[in-house]
Structure 1
Amino acid sequence: MPRIGTAAAALLLLGTAGARAGETSLPDAILAPGETIVLTLHAEGAQIYECKAGSDGKLAWAFREPIASLMENGKTVGRHYAGPNWEHADGSAVTGKAIGNAPGATANDIPWLKLEVTAHRGTGILAPVSTVQRINTEGGKLDGACDKAGSFRSVPYDADYVFLRKG
């Protein structure tokens, strides 16, 4: 069964009461004041890293892309992949660009993010979404040196994605 943290539970409760995301206790860097929750989905997947030479010529892991299933009540209802893109089973999808971040709970957790939606596809549930928040992250982080340029490593992660609309 997917893990739903305290912040996600609060968001779900606030969302059903019609409250705004800006009223929750999220880090300031990812708040979306004045926006209303459309949908919250749990993600299970991996962050994919590639071994690349940095500007200093040393090999290190560099984030390449995410790949995850989006779930609601334990049922897969979409997917998350490079772009970053979120695609719902109803055919609607959004692409985003990170505009804010806050640290994950531990050193192994990818950061919480605020993403501005830059493109829409379809007319389903994601059609009105203007902002996506990634919260309650667990795992997914890979830092440090690597041995072979061009090699890949996937690191499991899970998170909750909150889809918001203005007004």
Structure 2
Amino acid sequence: MKSTHNTLWAYSKSAAVTVAMVTGTAVLMAACAGVKPPPKEYTQERLDDQIQVPPGNVVALETTATGLLNYECKANATTAGSYGWVLVSPRADLLDRTGKQVAKYAGPPATWTHIDGSSVVGQQLAIAPRPGATNLAYQLSKGSPGSAAGVLQNVTYIQRIKTKGGQDLSKTCTQTDMGDKLTLPYQADYVFWKAA
């Protein structure tokens, strides 16, 4: 009788352990289902050739900027008698992929400053048209990092992509409009690259 009792006890203990393991696994899987997967690695495949970053560089930081672009009606320095809207001061806050504000953008010159104190100045190399008359063109800039250590310290290139707004310059700009100001909201992704 003692042997039967021990056998039953062993089976019931084994069944309890199995149920606990199955339940624990189910709970763990349910908890993991609510966790967001890591962001996909950034790819340039769908961008125009002229704004693709050369091989030998990797993404250092991906951000989304929201801000304002301030324009002024000025005479065209290269074409006498013509006038146009000139960007005089951009301002934007940059959020990383988690939604945390990590940098600010201002100019001129085009300067991105990270919350860690590092910064980079961009010099435009190329642009690519963006569908929609009111959207800024996509842009590739060469980076000239500042001396402070941090995320932007070794940035080689900056891409501006996924633009929305910032370019509705349909308001007239003639000699009589000289000095008029125009402020336009915009959004764009800035992708910062560094040497691999």
Superposition TM-score, scaled by structure 2 size: 0.70
Deviation at 1:59, TM superposition (A): 3.9
- 1:102/1:111 contact within 8 Å kept: yes
Deviation at 1:46, TM superposition (A): 1.3
Any idea what the Cα deviations from partners look like across 1:47-100, whole Å, max 9, x if unmatched? 111011233434432222311011122222210011100000010000010001
Once residues 100 and 58 of structure 1 are traced to their aligned partners in structure 2, the CA distance between those partners, rounded to angstroms, is 24
* Identity across matched positions, percent: 32
Aligned to 1:155, which of 184, 192, 195?
184
- 2:145/2:154 contact within 8 Å kept: no
Once residues 86 and 161 of structure 1 are traced to their aligned partners in structure 2, the CA distance between those partners, rounded to angstroms, is 10
CA RMSD of aligned residues (A): 1.7
Deviation at 1:149, TM superposition (A): 1.6
Once residues 161 and 118 of structure 1 are traced to their aligned partners in structure 2, the CA distance between those partners, rounded to angstroms, is 15
Question: CA, structure 1 residues 129+88, in 2 after alignment: closer, same or farther (shift >3 Å)?
Answer: same
Deviation at 1:33, TM superposition (A): 2.7
The residue number in structure 1 matching 2:48 is: 27
The residue number in structure 2 matching 1:79 is: 104
Aligned to 2:134, which of 108, 130, 144?
108
Instruction: Confirm or deny that 1:70 pairs with 2:99.
Output: no
Q: Runs of at least 4 residues of structure 1 off by over 3 A?
A: none
Instruction: Confirm or deny that 1:136 pairs with 2:145.
Output: no
Aligned to 2:64, which of 42, 46, 52?
42
The residue number in structure 2 matching 1:13 is: 40
- 1:61/1:142 contact within 8 Å kept: no
Superposition TM-score, scaled by structure 1 size: 0.82
* Total equivalences in the alignment: 150
- Structure 2 gap segments, 5+ residues each: 1-38
Once residues 60 and 94 of structure 2 are traced to their aligned partners in structure 1, the CA distance between those partners, rounded to angstroms, is 15
Instruction: Give secondary structure in 2 for the equivalent of 1:135.
Output: strand
Instruction: Give secondary structure in 1 for the equivalent of 2:183.
Output: strand
Read off the aligned partner of 1:90 and give its amino acid letter.
D
Moved more, 50-59 or 62-71: 50-59
Which is greater in Rg? 2
Of structures 1 and 2, the one scoring higher in RCO (CA 8 A, sep 6+) is 1
Once residues 99 and 89 of structure 1 are traced to their aligned partners in structure 2, the CA distance between those partners, rounded to angstroms, is 26
Read off the aligned partner of 2:181 and give its amino acid letter.
F
